[in-house]
Amino acid sequence: MKKIKSALISVSNKKNLKPILQTLKKFKIEIISSGGTFKKIKELGFKSKEISEYTKFPEMLDGRVKTLHPMIHAGILSDRKKTSHKNQLKKYNFKEIDLVIVNFYPFQEIVKNFSKKKRIIENIDIGGPSMVRGAAKNYKNVAVITSVDQYNDLINELNFNKGSTSEVFRERLCQEAFIETGYYDSVISNYFLGISKNNFPSKKLIYGNKIDDLRYGENPHQIAGIYAIGLSNQKIQQLHGKKLSYNNYNDLYSALEISKSLPKNVGCVIVKHANPCGVSINKDNFQSFKLALKCDPVSAFGGIVSCNFKINEKLANELNKIFLEIVVATGFSKKALKILKKKKNLRIIDSSKLDNTDFFDMKSNFNTLLIQSNDSKIFKNKDFKVVSKTKPGKDTMKNLIFAFNICRFVKSNAIVLTRNFSTIGIGAGQPSRVDSCKIAIEKMQTFQKITNKDEVIAASDAFFPFVDGLEKLVMSGVSAVIQPSGSIRDKEIIRFANKLGIVLVFSKTRHFKH
């Protein structure tokens, strides 16, 4: 146990100070405080000694130097068990400081709300993190509080131990203090990296705020949590249903990534095990869902429906006819929400505030981290080249681009079949591209009625190295194909397409999803 005799308080966030001050007064703990905090303590009716009076040295450099003084840091860092430390403090008439209560300048909030670099730089806290690091290092002797959320814990500790703190308590505070300083430094360093657009520095600092502890990971024996990385916040809102699991989040993000790539306020996506099993951008929102479901109604069972539009009463009634884990949309009408909430466990998510631009994909394994920019490229006609003698019409070209856009979100090897801006067959995640063709064709033949008048489009996420995959697609009714270029057999594929009289379009960029 360590008796608290003196406390230093220097806080940017001055909320809820009164209960702390009452407790410190109760145990006759001397308070030292810096400028703004000193004024607040005085305003609340409590006694405190201002830093400049305590150190006999004035604040200087427009407040940049307040607590950076040997009297402060020696008082925090001295080892109470070392006679040499005690003698040095006595020699210079320094006192021990047993409790440090500090929170930092709100750098993160300033970056969010202001653009002037000068103002942002002035909100880089120097003295605060220095005191916190010193107190945390010396946790054997000093307690350090870095958040308003810890005030009640401190009050309870002091009351329980009659003005003292236990080493177990101080060590826990030490852990949280170093998390706080590490996080703060990461925010600042990433701000400057953002200015220079240096996304891959020699050392990478990744910081985040915990959103939630998850019940478990992909399987019950794995532990898991979810964090908002960087300055971003969780911009999806759960309106109803059970807590989201690790697998729910994984599927949900896959669905959102696809739906947010679709035209504004148009399109419906159904996802199962992180792969789309139906997508449509029919302008009639109700029909968009029906067509997405029709692509593979068996796989849709227990899946996620993501609507890139506001869900109304009619669609809500239709959605309730099947078993779904999650329904996500850019808003819900009041009646729609009431209908969907009839299903107790259905997770209802509002994604209207979500922006899917400017983020990075991260994967971790074996204590390494793979990082890449996200594949959010918006496709335009200039990104593609028609290489066949048979040329696509305007609508055919739009259908081809739609199919290729969906294909990039399907696990490789990926084949997507579409008709009239709706998927009708998806083959995902096969080591052989020919097998992916077989699966997509089988899905189409199982759930669709294809006539000679239908224009069936096929998209592949990579080039066909041989004609066998292309041949299977054409035999099933495909009349136009889109794929990336890059094979040494590209000319052979073009000749084969011309022989069959189909449209063949090459993408200038490849879009794998592993």
Q: Write down the pLDDT at residue 234.
A: 64
For residue 284, what is the DSSP state?
S
CA distance 461 to 484: 7
Residue 323: pLDDT above 80?
Answer: yes
Stronger pLDDT, 198 or 403, i.e. the higher one: 403
Helix, strand, coil percentages for the chain (3-state, nearest 5): 40, 20, 40
- Which amino acid type is present at position 123? N
pLDDT digits (tens, 9 = 90+) for 379-397: 888 999 999 999 999 999 9
For the cut 80, the answer to whether the pLDDT of residue 233 exceeds it is no
Does 157 score more than 90 pLDDT?
yes
Choose among 74, 58, 54: nearest CA to 66.
58
Average pLDDT of span 424-441: 93
Q: How large is the angle between the packed helices 35-43 and 17-26, nearest 10 degrees?
A: 80
Residue 431, number of CB atoms within 10 A of its CB: 8
Point out the catalytic residue in the list 18, 85, 240, 273: 273
| More confident site: 108 or 350 | 350
Which are the contacts of 387, defined by CB distance < 8 A and separation ≥ 6? Answer: 485, 490, 494, 497, 504, 505, 506
Mapped to the 3 state alphabet, what secondary structure does 328-370 carry?
EECCECHHHHHHHCCCCCCEEEECCCCCCCCCEEEEEECCEEE
What pLDDT score was predicted for residue 110? 83
Our measurement of the distance from residue 153's CA atom to the centroid of its chain's CA atoms, rounded to an integer in Å, reads: 30
Tell me the pLDDT tens digit for each residue of 243-258.
999 999 999 999 999 9
- Band (pLDDT 50/70/90 cuts) for residue 152 is very high
Q: What pLDDT score does 365 carry?
A: 82
For residue 390, the one-letter residue type is T
> What's the confidence (pLDDT) of residue 229?
81
- At residue 224 the predicted structure's pLDDT band, cuts being 50, 70 and 90, is very high
pLDDT band at 171 (very low <50, low <70, confident <90, very high): very high
* Confidence category of residue 37, pLDDT binned at 50, 70, 90: very high
User: How far from 26 is each of 4, 8, 21, 45, 162, CA to CA, in Å?
Assistant: 12, 16, 8, 14, 10
- Identify the helix (H) or strand (E) that includes residue 169: helix 167-196
CA-to-CA distance for 93 and 75, rounded, in angstroms? 10
The domains of the chain, with CATH numbers, are 2-196 (3.40.50.1380), 245-350 (3.40.140.20), 381-507 (3.40.140.20)
CA 15 to chain centre: 29
Please report the pLDDT score of residue 131 as a whole number: 93
CB 385 within 8 A of CB 363: no
For 196-212, letters b (16+ CB in 10 Å) and e give: eeeeeeeeeeebeeeee
pLDDT at 144 over 70: yes
Per the model's pLDDT, the better-predicted residue between 365 and 214 turns out to be 214
Q: Which residue did the predictor score with more confidence, 452 or 31? A: 31
Q: Measuring CA to CA, which residue among 274, 229, 210 is closest to residue 247?
A: 274
The stretch 317-331 carries a mean pLDDT of 96
- Which of these is catalytic: 86, 137, 290, 438? 137
Spatial distance between the Cα atoms of 145 and 170, rounded to a whole number of angstroms: 9
Q: How do residues 79-97 score in pLDDT, each as one tens digit?
A: 988 999 999 999 998 999 9
Q: State how far the Cα of 309 lies from the Cα of 328, in Å rounded to an integer.
A: 9
Judge whether residue 160 has pLDDT over 90: yes
Rounded CA-CA distance 214/231 in Å is: 22
- In which residue are the tokens 């022989």 written? 499
Q: Which residues contact 177 (CB under 8 A, 6 or more apart)?
A: 132, 133, 135, 136, 144, 146
**pLDDT at position 358, please?**
66
Active site annotation includes 273: yes
Q: Quote the CA–CA distance of 240 and 347 in Å, as a whole number.
A: 5
* Average pLDDT, integer, range 90-119: 87
